[in-house]
Amino acid sequence: MAAIHPLDPIQPQEIRNAVLLLQKRFPQATIRFKVIDMFEPPKNEVFAHIQMGKKPSGSSDRRAQIYFHRDKSSVMSKAIVNVSQATVEKVEDLPDVQGPVDLEEWEAVHDACNSHPKVQEEIAKLRLPPGAKVINDPWAFGTDNVEERRRLFQCYMYIVLSDDPESNHYSIPAPISPVFDANTLELLWIDRLPLGSGSEADQETQPWLPTKPIEYSASILGDAYFRRDLKPLQIVQPEGPSFSVEKNIISWQKWRFHLGWTLREGPVIQNVTYDGRSLFYRVSMSEMTVPYGDPRTPYHRKQAFDLGDSGFGIMSNSLRLGCDCLGLIKYFDGWRCTSKGEPVLMKNVVCMHEVDNGIGWKHTNYRNGETSVVRDRQLVIQCTATLANYEYILAFVFDQAANLRVEVRATGIVSTMPIRSGIHSDWGTVVAPGVLAVHHQHIFSVRIDPALDGQANSILYEDCVPLADPESDPFGCAFKVQSNTITKPGGYELDLTKARTYKIVNSAYHNPISKKPVSYKLHALPSQMMMMGEKGFNRKRALFATKPIWVTKYGDDELYAAGEFTNQSREDTGLAVWTKRPDLVSDEDVVLWHTFAITHVTRPEDFPVMPHEGMSIMLKPSNFFESNPSNDVPRSSQAVHHSARL
């Protein structure tokens, strides 16, 4: 396995080897594997040689991280297995945490719920028409009790009226939610869902009142439903793509980076250089949480952590040619494991392609009409994660002006609850007959581990404030840029009234033109932070969601904003802990975290599938280069583009 780069995603043979090694360590045990993934090497093992663009020297061992259960124990264990040295480096039992949801457990809970006699009894009371059936989405239980130690799932149930593979059962939510213990597959209780504007639910399940679901399935909708005036638009790249790929190392337009992938995060951008200069060690989606704003039981528990509870990688779609992107597409696969530890190929979980994003820059000499136009060609690394009803499209977008953008498109089907006809609710919008979509927040954390011209970086913020000095500024037109270096780990605020901008700087290097320290600035997305009160679990579990900017000293294995284990977590074990250390963070190996969000007040227009809601943040050079990095991009011309005038 010498050819595997230290940062490469886990390989099937590594999964097999790790499984054998762990089995050898516990020869008597029956092991149920939950997650086997690549365990990233300590940064100092790999930084120097990968930043220099050298091939991995073999000095860095390949390791796997395994979450597993022994002999049906309810306690999850974690192992670090060194597959290069064929040793189990660490095993730890974790009695106090719940691991993420795994697919087989999820299926077991789903089946247990659907087939349980008590649940069947309730379903019978619905008196569904012949052919109708009921299915359920087991949800991570959330947290409403610090004493809870069972592994719980709340199952939200939906009625399926059609055999069509895309029939929209989310348009027909059923009024009950059974709660199961995933370890014992025991039904613990059945929550009845409130159907009115108040918090009370019916005492008894009532017969279902037939409603026509709102469908998105093309076959159900039928040909006549569709608009007919959309003409094809195709992307043609006659000379091939502008990128080159050497396993997971991508080169494109002076960018060079390693494209990693994990079950938790999906694509991970590592070891990023531009024109040979180091920019970032690692850029990744770190966590996200979706708290719902409905106080009524059982909805008060609805708070998904879509990375920590499940994972953007493991939930990734197999992408399809001509659907998810246009043009010339390079796909990347991933690997997961079964509960027996067998590797499972996840085909096409990441795609890479180029996009034309309109005009990149332009100037016309108005004296003579001479014009230079450069188009904004971009390289897009993209995945789609399906979290039950909902989809996130995560993209890392590189451009020719040395900007790196992280974009999330929220789409899919909003989480639906039943509501009685004619009733309306303060907590959401009726998006279809009998369907309430509760208002909620989506709160994301992107982790940026910078390495601007080296590892010793600082984070500072700049405020633009009026000079307000009548002596030197008699006309009151001047403003100054105040710079403040962050010296302590912690959470920090944006301030739009000052156009506050956070920058990553390397104070050891100065731009030869401007004489200012080299930097990349964060174009943050100012947004409403988590609304939930200080005492609530929603907030305690996700401190990252309360401030837009976080700064920590780099620590190996500190990748996830809310901590490693979020499922049924009682508190944040990530930033909440790491920011309490009295670390030095200026001119150090520092990490910048950005929290951004949308508060989604639902609309009928979001149903059945919602048009994407886009969010995007950007890392932009500032005093890093001596001039426009895209000044050398060939000018846009008809000879190349073959456009046509109408």
Footprint of a second copy on 128-187 (CB under 8 A): 135, 144, 165-166
User: What residues contact residue 564 under an 8 Å CB cut-off, 6+ apart?
Assistant: 97, 308, 573, 574
**331 in contact with a second copy (CB under 8 A):** yes
Interface pick for a second copy out of 356, 453, 571, 588 (rule CB under 8 A): 356
Is the Cβ of residue 74 or residue 251 nearer to a second copy in the bound state?
251
**196 in contact with a second copy (CB under 8 A):** no
Give catalytic status of residue 390 as yes or no.
yes
d(CA 28, CA 30): 7
**Segment contacting a second copy by CB under 8 A, of 178-186, 214-222, 443-451, 558-566:** 214-222
Q: Which amino acid is at 248?
A: N
Interface pick for a second copy out of 431, 543, 545, 591 (rule CB under 8 A): 431
Q: Which of 243, 251, 270 is nearest to 259 (CA)?
A: 270
Place of tokens 């990530």: 574
DSSP state of 633: S
**Segment contacting a second copy by CB under 8 A, of 75-83, 92-100, 513-521, 582-590:** 513-521
Q: Which of 525, 507, 508, 505 is nearest to 622 (CA)?
A: 505
**Segment contacting a second copy by CB under 8 A, of 282-290, 335-343, 368-376, 564-572:** 368-376
Contact 357, 618 (CB under 8 A): no
User: What residues contact residue 469 under an 8 Å CB cut-off, 6+ apart?
Assistant: 478
Is the Cβ of residue 32 or residue 296 nearer to a second copy in the bound state?
296
Interface pick for a second copy out of 24, 90, 118, 320 (rule CB under 8 A): 320
Instruction: Name the region of 271 (left: φ>0; alpha: ψ -120 to 50; beta: rest).
Output: left
Interface pick for a second copy out of 345, 359, 508, 584 (rule CB under 8 A): 359
Q: Which of 438, 318, 448, 334 is nearest to 386 (CA)?
A: 318
**Around 322, how many Cα atoms within 13 Å sit in the side-chain half-sphere?**
3
User: What residues contact residue 70 under an 8 Å CB cut-off, 6+ apart?
Assistant: 26, 29, 30, 31, 32, 77
d(CA 347, CA 336): 11
**290 in contact with a second copy (CB under 8 A):** no
Which of the residues 229 through 268 are near a second copy (CB under 8 A)? 229-242, 245, 253-254
Interface pick for a second copy out of 130, 147, 477, 582 (rule CB under 8 A): 477
CB of 65 vs a second copy, minimal distance in Å: 25
CB of 527 vs a second copy, minimal distance in Å: 6
**364 in contact with a second copy (CB under 8 A):** yes
DSSP state of 214: P
Is the Cβ of residue 73 or residue 628 nearer to a second copy in the bound state?
628
**615 in contact with a second copy (CB under 8 A):** no
CB of 132 vs a second copy, minimal distance in Å: 16
d(CA 551, CA 554): 9
Give catalytic status of residue 158 as yes or no.
no
**412 in contact with a second copy (CB under 8 A):** yes
d(CA 58, CA 72): 38
Contact 122, 176 (CB under 8 A): yes
Is the Cβ of residue 68 or residue 537 nearer to a second copy in the bound state?
537
Residues in the chain: 646
**222 in contact with a second copy (CB under 8 A):** no
CB of 523 vs a second copy, minimal distance in Å: 9
Contact 272, 21 (CB under 8 A): no
Interface pick for a second copy out of 28, 115, 203, 368 (rule CB under 8 A): 368
Number of residues that bind a second copy (CB under 8 A): 177
d(CA 41, CA 4): 13
**Segment contacting a second copy by CB under 8 A, of 5-13, 265-273, 575-583, 609-617:** 609-617
Is the Cβ of residue 75 or residue 467 nearer to a second copy in the bound state?
467
CB of 71 vs a second copy, minimal distance in Å: 30
**Segment contacting a second copy by CB under 8 A, of 12-20, 277-285, 336-344, 406-414:** 406-414
Is the Cβ of residue 87 or residue 485 nearer to a second copy in the bound state?
485
User: What residues contact residue 375 under an 8 Å CB cut-off, 6+ apart?
Assistant: 356, 357, 358, 359, 360, 633, 636
Q: Which of 311, 307, 305 is nearest to 334 (CA)?
A: 311
CB of 151 vs a second copy, minimal distance in Å: 20
**510 in contact with a second copy (CB under 8 A):** no
Is the Cβ of residue 559 or residue 633 nearer to a second copy in the bound state?
633
**640 in contact with a second copy (CB under 8 A):** yes
Residue-wise over 124-161: b if at least 16 C-beta within 10 A, else e?
Answer: eebebeeebebebbbbbbbbeeeeeebbbbbbbbbbbb
The backbone torsions φ and ψ at residue 47, rounded to the nearest 5 degrees and listed phi first, read: -55, -50
CB of 488 vs a second copy, minimal distance in Å: 24
CB of 320 vs a second copy, minimal distance in Å: 7
CA distances from 173 to 211, 493, 606 (A): 11, 40, 16
CA 641 vs. chain centroid, Å, equals 35
**291 in contact with a second copy (CB under 8 A):** yes
Name the catalytic one among 390, 461, 554, 560.
390
CB of 128 vs a second copy, minimal distance in Å: 19
User: What residues contact residue 107 under an 8 Å CB cut-off, 6+ apart?
Assistant: none
**466 in contact with a second copy (CB under 8 A):** yes
d(CA 262, CA 33): 16
**Segment contacting a second copy by CB under 8 A, of 40-48, 286-294, 451-459, 578-586:** 286-294
Name the catalytic one among 306, 309, 324, 606.
306
Contact 37, 10 (CB under 8 A): yes
Which of the residues 580 through 599 are near a second copy (CB under 8 A)? 599
Interface pick for a second copy out of 354, 449, 564, 572 (rule CB under 8 A): 354
Which of the residues 84 through 123 are near a second copy (CB under 8 A)? none
Burial class (CB in 10 A: 0-12, 13-18, 19+), 437: buried
| Residues annotated as catalytic (active site), given as ranges | 306, 390
